[in-house]
Amino acid sequence: MSQTWIILGAGSAMGRAFARKAATQGAHLVLAARDQDDLDRTAADCLARGAASAAAVLFDVRKPESFAPIYDAAKANDGIINTAVFVGSMAPQDDVDADPNVGDLTIQDSFTGPVNFLHGLAPIMEARKGGTVLGIGSVAGDRGRIGNYIYGAAKAGFHTYLSGLRNRLNRSGGHVVTVKPGFVDTAMTWGIEGMFLVASPEQIAQDLWTAHEKRKNTLYTPFFWRYIMAIIKSIPEPIFKKLSV
């Protein structure tokens, strides 16, 4: 059966790596991001790698009017519609503390914007009787930490939404994977102190594809972050609130 992948944030390192992976599987691609020239280059690259088609559509998660052309591009293809959501932003906590508007934008980029897009896409997926949503959350959403708790709160909210959407789409044959990456070598993490065990976007893309094929509910990637976060979540609150982790 024909497969279409909508890739939100196709201009990001992880989004581009996943687009290339989907291209090698012969999928139709709808690449969505804010830079048209970059999208056009990625589309050409994906076609060369074997994509059945590659539409480049301008998208801004803060502008709901940009959503409809993406839905239309996906519906133009027969078969199952999937989507991978890579959009989000992580402003330094100091910037958020200095200007609450920065926090509002972080929440819009990482939570409410992606939710609005997926809620519009859900009926289309239900009508096609299948499809996978790969929702990129973060290990930061597992517990509030002093260094990025606004971003973590946004991702925690996104995790909860994805859980409910998984329950909904399951009834029509669809599936949702809640993805919780650790540190990844992307523009979002460049220059941050204390980084360790940093994964490549290509490694993450392969893990995502495997999770899609196996219909996993939750994916920590790389895998060892499941155990790291289990330790972090187990620390008693009186101790945890004294730590700088």
pLDDT at 191: 47
CA distance 44 to 92: 35
Which residue(s) pair with 81 in the sheet? 4
pLDDT at 186: 59
> What domains lie within the chain, and their CATH numbers?
3-240 (3.40.50.720)
Contact 21, 27 (CB under 8 A): no
Q: What is the pLDDT along the chain (245 residues), one digit of tens a residue?
A: 799 999 999 999 999 999 999 999 999 999 999 999 999 999 999 999 999 999 999 999 999 999 999 999 999 999 999 999 999 999 888 899 999 899 999 999 999 999 999 999 999 999 999 999 999 999 999 999 998 999 999 999 999 999 999 999 999 999 999 999 988 775 554 444 554 567 899 999 999 999 999 999 999 999 999 999 999 999 999 999 998 87
pLDDT at 190: 46
pLDDT at 195: 47
CA distance 227 to 154: 22
CA distance 84 to 51: 16
The tokens describing 12, both together, are 């990001």
Contact 70, 5 (CB under 8 A): no
